[in-house]
Amino acid sequence: MAMVLPLACGGRLAGSAAVVAQEKGRVFLATALHLLGTSDEVQIAIPPHGGDITVPQVYPLTQAPIAAARVVTTDPFCDLAILEIQGSLGMPVPPICTDQNLPAVGTEVVVLGYPFAPIGSMLETWTPGHVTARARQQIIEGVLVDEIVLSVTAHPGASGSAVVGRKDGVLYGILRGALAPPEVMKIGNLPVATDTTVTFATCAAYIPPLLQFAKEH
Amino acid sequence: MAGLDLTGLSEEALLAELPVPVRQRITEMSGRSVPEDQIGAVLALAPGGSIARKGAGSWRADLWPAVVQELRVLCCTDDARYADIRDKWTGLQGDTASTAVAALSGAIGASLGLAAGVVAPVVVWGLVTVLRLGLGVFCRQTEPKKLEVPAG
């Protein structure tokens, strides 16, 4: 199963980041670029369960060890960022889907991430759902980005979550948003919920070339 | 001219500093004669460019004009903000495009309060734009507009 950790920007929890590669004391994580915003300080929190969703989690946590992360590269079209932290983590890295094994509509998936991270939650959840559509977001005429649409509700902090095949454990996508205007159900400036289950994830097939670039830089 | 001498930087070398998928999409748009300014705006706007967005959502939509203005300050003026990188520039020019891009992205990112990795694709495209236009034209085109107050 994928290992997902909380992402903090500017000293505040913002969302989730999925471990996508480890080598030679370097750990690479994929997350949603829009989370990084205007923060030049990016960190990964390492809660006591270490991203192992099978372990009981104590909550609420008021603090956790953190690792400084470097933004190695980004793909603004795909809303993806690759981060690097130093060290090693104890869990295996999931296989990443390629153009050849994109999930079909109806595929059972699970979303692993930290819903409500922006209000301080470091409770990781495993949320089952299905691929309800395969989409191609048109960024500009002629520039399309492959996405998968999921039947799960994306709460704030879910951005950057891993979308993993329930049967094969393949990383199919990185969750990036939901079909809902950000005005829906807010407390102050913080959107807290949406009534839609039309949730978008950027296809993970975009990650390997970014990872290759990251490893070389 | 005041500012930074970009001699030695080439468009090809700069684009090679981008991950393959980003480079491919820029090349596609460029091949269809999408104006440089529009490509920059798309690069900067993309994470917030659809209604499918929620969460922290603090991506700044004005990233492209902000980077263009910083490149103007860097390349067209002797503003003290970038004095350090101008001092080091001669040495960096002899190095790889990778080092130059890292240094410029770091400096511009720091000025805008953004991680170098976040701002790098937009900075690279900004530099390509400067090379395509020529430094003189870029500096003239990006001059701050004077506010004209009607007399009387």
Identify the weakest region by mean pLDDT among A58-62, A159-163, A177-181, B58-62. Answer: B58-62
Please report the domains of chain A, with CATH numbers, ordered by start residue: 4-93+209-216 (2.40.10.10), 99-204 (2.40.10.10)
Query: Once rounded to an integer, what is the mean pLDDT over residues A101-106?
Result: 91
Q: What per-residue confidence (pLDDT) applies to B56?
A: 41
pLDDT band at B58 (very low <50, low <70, confident <90, very high): low
Query: Once rounded to an integer, what is the mean pLDDT over residues B8-15?
Result: 89
In this prediction, does ipTM exceed 0.95?
Answer: no
Percentage of residues of chain B with pLDDT beyond 90: 45
pLDDT band at A137 (very low <50, low <70, confident <90, very high): confident
Q: Which residue has the tokens 């040495």?
A: B91
Residue B142 near residue B69, CB atoms below 8 Å: yes
In chain B the beta strands, taken as DSSP E runs, fall at: none
For A21-59, b/e burial (b = at least 16 CB within 10 A) is bbeeebbbbbbbbbbbbbbbebbbbbbebebebeeeeee
Percentage of residues of chain A with pLDDT beyond 70: 93
- Minimal Cβ distance to B46: which of A72, A76, A178: A76
Q: What per-residue confidence (pLDDT) applies to B99?
A: 85
In chain A the beta strands, taken as DSSP E runs, fall at: 4-9, 12-23, 26-32, 42-45, 66-75, 80-86, 108-113, 125-140, 143-150, 162-165, 171-178, 186-187, 190-191, 199-203
Q: Which residue has the tokens 């372990």?
A: A55
A162-166, B9-13, B108-112 — which one is most confidently predicted on average? A162-166
pTM of the model: 0.88
Residue B121 has pLDDT above 50, yes or no: yes
Which has more pLDDT, A75 or B95? A75
Residue A94 near residue A169, CB atoms below 8 Å: yes
Q: What per-residue confidence (pLDDT) applies to B51?
A: 46
- Whether B22 has its CB under 8 Å from any CB of chain A: the answer is yes
Q: For the beta carbon of residue A146, count every other beta carbon within 10 angstroms.
A: 17
State the sign of the Cα–Cα–Cα–Cα dihedral A51, A55, A56, A62.
negative
Residue B2 has pLDDT above 70, yes or no: no
Structural domain spans, chain B: 11-26+37-43+61-141
If DSSP codes are grouped into helix, strand and coil, which group holds residue A45?
Answer: strand
B57:A37 CB<8 A: yes
Q: Which of B23, B37, B51, B54 to mutate to test the interface with A (most CBs of A within 10 A)?
A: B54
Classify A157 in phi/psi space as left (phi over 0), alpha (psi -120 to 50) or beta: left
- Minimal Cβ distance to A206: which of B21, B38, B43: B21
Residue A185 has pLDDT above 80, yes or no: no
Q: What per-residue confidence (pLDDT) applies to A5?
A: 97
Q: What per-residue confidence (pLDDT) applies to B87?
A: 85
Q: What per-residue confidence (pLDDT) applies to B129?
A: 94
- Whether B54 has its CB under 8 Å from any CB of chain A: the answer is yes
Which has more pLDDT, A181 or A10? A10
Query: How distant is the Cα of A33 from the closest Cα of chain B, in angstroms?
Result: 7
Q: What per-residue confidence (pLDDT) applies to A45?
A: 96
Sequence-distant (≥ 6) Cβ neighbours of residue B66 within 8 angstroms:
B60, B112
Amino acid at residue number A162? A
Identify the weakest region by mean pLDDT among A67-71, A153-157, A174-178. Answer: A153-157
